[in-house]
Amino acid sequence: MNGDTLIEVRDLHKYYGKHEVLRGIDTQICQGEVVAIIGPSGCGKSTFLRSLNLLEPPTKGQVIFEGNDITAPGTDVDKIRQKIGMVFQQFNLFANMNIRDNITLAPVKLGIMTKEQAEKRALELLERVGLPDKAEAYPAMLSGGQKQRIAIARALAMNPDVMLFDEPTSALDPEMVGEVLGIMKELARDGMTMVVVTHEMGFAREVASRVMFINEGLIQEENTPQEFFEHPKNARLQEFLSKVL
């Protein structure tokens, strides 16, 4: 399953003022991997995820994406981000446009597809996330689960090499969690490389190829789901799992 290294993170540090949120993260994410990140609130999971596409520029350290150090000065960050899809907890669908435009905006404005191509692709993607009849709808008319499925479709429209998810189901009513996780499972099955910050332990156990425990700005444990959940070694992780499982 694991192919070449897609993202390599070296000694990543992030400060907000004097507060050191990430305190030296080293890891690699390989082609086709599904990495689940878990950890207590405020430990730096989002900050870590968001530094992978430089939405939060790291204070120190390197992020190497497909062989290029994207933290090096002079990097065309916008170009890199085209290849890194991101899905947010709060969906962040563009409120001023309908679903079709949400999906086609970036590919068209960035000159990757013509309008016709992008619209055709949008319909395929809507089909794929089970919302083929929502092209004309506006975000405000959709449920949370539907919004998040559209958000996934929007990210996929750029044909990214990796997808980042920051607690994609945390803002959803319980009955809508399943539909979103279902789509993420399908994505994983199709071989998409994914990094998922989540509180859904079931998803981590079932779908992830590796689970990562971040605590106090460090990766304190990472392992296959089996080992991770059955034989946690780190004391903080044991404590954390005892609370959430």
Partner 1 sequence: MQAFIEDFRLNFIEDGRYKYILQGLGNTLIISLLAVLVGIAIGFLVAIIRSNHDKTGHMKVANALCKIYLTVVRGTPTMIQLLIIYYVIFATVNVPKIVVAFVAFGLNSGAYVAEIVRSGIMAVDQGQFEAGRSLGLNYKQTMRYIVMPQAFKNVLPALGNEFIVLLKETSISGYIGLTDLTHGGDIIRGITYSPLLPLLAVAIIYLILVMGLSYCMGRLERRLRTNER
Ligand X SMILES: Nc1ncnc2c1ncn2[C@@H]1O[C@H](COP(=O)(O)OP(=O)(O)OP(=O)(O)O)[C@@H](O)[C@H]1O
Task: Check binding of 84 to partner 1 (CB under 8 A).
Answer: yes
Q: Which is nearer to ligand X, 16 or 233 (CB)?
A: 16
Contacts of 183 (CB under 8 A, 6+ apart): 128, 129, 130, 149, 152
Q: What is the largest CA-CA distance in the chain?
A: 55
Q: Would you say 40 or 61 has its CB closer to Mg ion?
A: 40
Binding mask 50-89 for Mg ion (x = CB under 5 A): ----------------------------------------
Q: Does 43 bind ligand X (CB under 6 A)?
A: yes
Which stretch in 134-142, 206-214, 217-225, 228-236 sits in contact with partner 1 by CB under 8 A? Answer: 134-142
Tokens encoding 179 = 């539909």
Site residue total, ligand X (CB under 6 A): 10
Report the alpha-carbon angle 184-47-65, nearest 5. Answer: 70
Closer residue to Mg ion (CB): 46 or 146? 46
Residue 41 near ligand X by CB under 6 A? yes
158 binds, among partner 1, ligand X, Mg ion, none (CB under 5 to 8 A by kind): partner 1
Residue 105 interacts with partner 1 (CB under 8 A): yes or no: yes
Calpha distance 196→34 (Å, rounded) = 7
CB 214 within 8 A of CB 48: yes
CA distance 147 to 214: 28
> Is the Cα torsion angle 171, 174, 180, 184 positive or negative in sign?
positive
Among 44, 139, 145, 160, binds ligand X (CB under 6 A): 44
Pattern of binders to Mg ion over 24-53, x per CB under 5 A?
----------------------x-------
Q: Residue 41 binds which entry of ligand X, partner 1, Mg ion, none, with Cβ cut-offs from 5 to 8 Å by kind?
A: ligand X
Q: Would you say 101 or 216 has its CB closer to ligand X?
A: 216
- Residues 155-194 contacting partner 1, CB under 8 A: 155, 158
Is the distance from CB of 207 to CB of 226 less than 8 angstroms? no
3-state secondary structure of 202: helix
d(CA 201, CA 64): 28
Which residues, including other chains, have CB under 8 Å from residue 198's CB and lie 6 or more apart?
36, 37, 38, 165, 167, 168, 169, 204
Positions that interact with Mg ion (CB under 5 A): 46
Positions that interact with partner 1 (CB under 8 A): 53, 55, 78-82, 84-86, 88, 90, 92-96, 98, 105-106, 109-110, 138, 140-141, 151, 154-155, 158
